[in-house]
Amino acid sequence: MSGRSGMSGMSGPILRLDELRTYYPARRNLVDWARRRPRRVVRAVDGVSFEVHEGEILALVGETGCGKTSTIQTVVGGFPATSGRVVVDGRDVTRLSGRRLRAVRRITQMIFQDPYESLNPRLRIRKAVEEPLQVHKLVASRSERRRLASEALERVGLTPAELFVDRFPHELSGGQRQRVAIAAALILNPRLLLADEPVSMLDVSIRAGVLSLIDGLRRERAMAVVLVTHDLSTAAHYADRIAVMYLGRIVEEGPTADVLRNPQHPYTQALLSVVPKSDPRDRFVPRVLEGETPNPANVPAGCRFHPRCPVATAECTVVDPALAPPRASRAAGHRVACILTQGPPPVEEREAAGANNA
């Protein structure tokens, strides 16, 4: 749904990734060691840049293993960045430490994929929700903590909170657990919420509830959200902007409607084509890509998509394209990393875009 990003642009982005790289060392076996081969790396995140503004939902989509989780884990400090910058609220967290870092962490909260796993089975709900307050030593008094916890629970729809606070996680349903996890994330009043496939483990029938909750919260509190998902329909429905990731890079990024209706990158096009539609009468012609999910330990030279690309040219095997505005889209902020579609749009289109932006 377009037109929701109206709040952006007022201040600077709440999150900005700048050529972020996160490499994992690969295990070296004896033969490699004996032959003095250099230690290989898994280039899980390999030069990712994007911005998220207050009150905006950015969906990060892509195949499994393309580095979505690694990207947001790097933002919250789950993994160290190999290079690049992670700027949260104007401060580069890769250079921060100690109290300043904690202050940034406080405004950055995360929700994990698996609602069954994200709560300690031995802690009561109240403890789980209060925990962030204790860790950040924000509220000294117990009663105040309790009050805040109850408030947070009610905010995510677990009303009345008294019915839930003394339960253990296994006494809740999956959707309820995910709500508790959200409540625990919200209690610190974060300005940035990172949600890693928050509903993929939930039943279709209750997904919408959790997602609408997140959607509502960001509107109500101008929270920025990075929503990781492999379900393009979900992204389409909730996100303001979509970033398509492929093998550690963002290959296309732009306002949801533009990316969906006017995909520029061959990968995005393929990805969109394979999403089945609910209505059996809808046209469904999947353009299935051949080949296996690519391996980030072995990134091809040139455009990393070229081995699977149906339209790749010889040039694609040597030129590694950066994100740039596509030729065939007039939308602002729509960028693509494909030499075949990049290029300055015709002048009149640029003007139209500028006008639109203002």
Partner 1 sequence: MRSGTLDYVVKRVAFALVTIFIVLTFNFVLFRLLPGSAVTDLSRVPNASPALREALAREFGLASSKWDQYLAYLDQLFHGNLGVSYVNQQPVWDNLRTDVANTVPMVALGTVVAVIAGITSGLVSAWRRRTPADYLLTNSAIAFYSFPTQWLGLMLIVLFGSYLPTTGMTTPFQIGGSFWQQAGDELQHMILPSLTIALTLYGQYTLVVRSAVLETLGEDYVLTARAKGVRTRRLLTRHVLRNAMLPIVTLMGLSFGYIVGGALLVETVFTWPGIGLAVYQAVLQRDYPMLQGAFLLLTISVVVFNLLADLLYARLDPRVSG
Partner 2 sequence: MALLEVRDLHVWFALPSGRELHAVKGVGLDVERGELFGLIGESGCGKTTTVLALMGLLPSSASVAGSVRVDGADVLSGGEKGARAHRWTETAMVFQGSMNAFSPVKTIGWQIAEPMEIHGVASRRAARARAGELLELVGIPAAAARRYPHQFSGGMRQRAAIAMALSCEPKLLLADEPTTALDVMVQAQILELLQRLARELHLTVVLVTHDLPLVAHICDRAAVMYGGEIAEVAAVDALYHESRHPYTRMLFAATPELLGGKDVTSIPGSPPRLDQPIVGCAFRPRCDSAVVRCATDHPALAEVARGHEAACHLNDPATGVLSVPDAGQPAGGAG
Partner 3 sequence: MLPVAALDADADSDARTGGDTGTGASGTGASAGARLRVILRGHRAGVVGAVILLAFTVLAIGAPWFAPYSTTAASGAVFAPPSLHHLLGTNDGGIDMVSLLMAGGRISMLVGFSCAAIAAVPGLLIGVLSGYFGGVVDTVLMRVTDFFIVLPTVPVMIVIAAVWGPSLLHLIVAISVLLWTSTARVIRAQVKSLRERTFVRRARTLGMGNTRVIFRHIVPNVAPLLVANSVVALALAIFYETALAFLGLGDPTATSWGTIIEDAFLRTAISVGAWWAIVPPGICVALVVIGAYLVGQSIEDELNPRLKVAHFSARFWSFRPLVGRGSEAI
Ligand X SMILES: Nc1ncnc2c1ncn2[C@@H]1O[C@H](COP(=O)(O)OP(=O)(O)OP(=O)(O)O)[C@@H](O)[C@H]1O
Q: Which residues bind ligand X (CB under 6 A)?
A: 24, 42, 44, 62, 64-70, 230, 296
Using the rule CB under 8 A, give the single segment among 6-14, 33-41, 76-84, 268-276 that binds partner 2. 268-276
208 part of the interface to partner 2, by CB under 8 A: yes
Q: Does 140 bind partner 1 (CB under 8 A)?
A: no
| Neighbour count for residue 189 (Cβ, 10 Å) | 13
Q: Residue 351 binds which one of partner 1, partner 3, ligand X, none, with CB within 5 to 8 A depending on kind?
A: none
* Smallest distance from ligand X to CB 343, Å: 29
Q: Which helix or strand (DSSP H or E) is residue 18 part of?
A: strand 15-25
Which amino acid, 114?
Answer: D
- Rounded CA gap, 73 and 89, in Å? 17
CB 25, min distance to ligand X, A: 8
Number of residues that bind partner 1 (CB under 8 A): 3
When binding is defined by CB under 8 A, the residue of 30, 140, 347, 355 that contacts partner 1 is 30
39 Cβ neighbours under 8 A, 6+ residues apart? 25, 26, 28
**Of 107, 209, 205, residue with least CA distance to 156:** 209
69 contacts which partner out of partner 2, partner 3, ligand X, none, CB within 5 to 8 A by kind? ligand X
Q: Please give the helix or strand (H or E) that residue 61 lies within, else none.
A: strand 57-62
Which residues would be at the binding site for partner 3 (CB under 8 A)? 73, 76-78, 101-102, 105-106, 110, 112-114, 116-123, 131-132, 135-136, 157-159, 163, 167, 169-176, 179, 181, 206, 209
Copy the structure tokens of residue 188: 């610190």
Query: Residue 133 or residue 211: which is nearer to partner 2 going by CB?
Result: 211
Q: In what order do the strands lie in the sheet with 57-62?
A: 108-111, 192-196, 224-228, 57-62, 241-246, 249-255, 335-336
> Which of partner 2, ligand X, Mg ion, none interacts with 229 (beta carbon under 5 to 8 A by kind)?
none
Contact 243, 61 (CB under 8 A): yes
Smaller CB separation from partner 1, 37 or 277: 37
- By CB under 8 A, the residues from 272 to 291 that bind partner 2 are 272, 274-281, 284, 286, 288-289
CA distance 303 to 247: 10
Residues in contact with partner 1 by the rule CB under 8 A: 29-31
